[in-house]
């Protein structure tokens, strides 16, 4: 994959989803991929942090089934990704995605006629993983 031009190596932008459990390096990997592709990196944590100052929204999100934090966050991320893709830019999504969210991302890519690449991170060293979680400041 070449640099510049929105990460295009085949004439079009990419939608890259970087997922995995917390503490496995998703955001680090997403940042590296974003720099390599010259792509926007959209993080679920950042998207949802924009809604934290609004207590009424938090009440609604907390009351949703399934959890509104996940559903709403991924909906926003897919909408923002779509906007980038329509401008011909690659985009990297960073967050804990389950089967439903992965399928939504693939659907967005299909609707925008771009390739979707899913990267799953993991940390095989239990002590390192635990240290990342315990030492985390958000």
Name the residue among 50, 49, 32 with its Cα closest to residue 92: 32
pLDDT (tens digit per residue) in 20-60: 998 899 999 999 999 999 999 999 999 999 999 999 999 99
Instruction: Decide if 51 is inside a domain.
Output: yes
| CB environment 98-126: b (16+ within 10 A), e (fewer) | eeebbebbeebbeebebebbeeebebeee
The CATH number covering residue 54 comes to 3.40.50.300
Instruction: Decide if 137 is inside a domain.
Output: no
Instruction: Decide if 131 is inside a domain.
Output: no
Instruction: Decide if 110 is inside a domain.
Output: yes
Instruction: Decide if 46 is inside a domain.
Output: yes
- Give the global pTM: 0.85
Q: How many other C-beta atoms can be found within 10 angstroms of the C-beta atom of residue 62? A: 10
pLDDT (tens digit per residue) in 66-85: 889 999 999 999 999 999 99
Residues 6+ apart with CB under 8 A from 72: 48, 51, 61, 64
Instruction: Decide if 22 is inside a domain.
Output: yes
Q: What is the mean pLDDT of the chain?
A: 89
Domain carrying residue 103: 5-122
The domain total for the chain is: 1
Instruction: Decide if 23 is inside a domain.
Output: yes
pLDDT (tens digit per residue) in 105-122: 999 999 999 999 999 999
């Amino acid at each position: 994959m070449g640099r510049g031009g929105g990460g295009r190596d085949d004439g079009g932008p990419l939608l890259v989803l970087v997922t995995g459990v917390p503490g496995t390096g998703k955001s680090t990997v997403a940042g590296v991929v974003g720099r390599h592709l010259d792509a926007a990196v959209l993080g679920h944590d950042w998207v949802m942090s924009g809604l934290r100052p609004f207590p009424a929204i938090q009440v609604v999100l907390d009351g949703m089934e399934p959890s509104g934090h996940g559903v709403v966050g991924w909906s926003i991320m897919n909408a923002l990704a779509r906007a980038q893709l329509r401008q011909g830019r690659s985009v990297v999504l960073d967050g804990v995605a389950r089967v439903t969210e992965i399928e939504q991302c693939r659907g967005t890519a299909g609707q925008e006629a771009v390739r979707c690449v899913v990267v799953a991170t993991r940390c095989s060293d239990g002590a390192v993983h635990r240290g990342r979680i315990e030492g985390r400041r958000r």
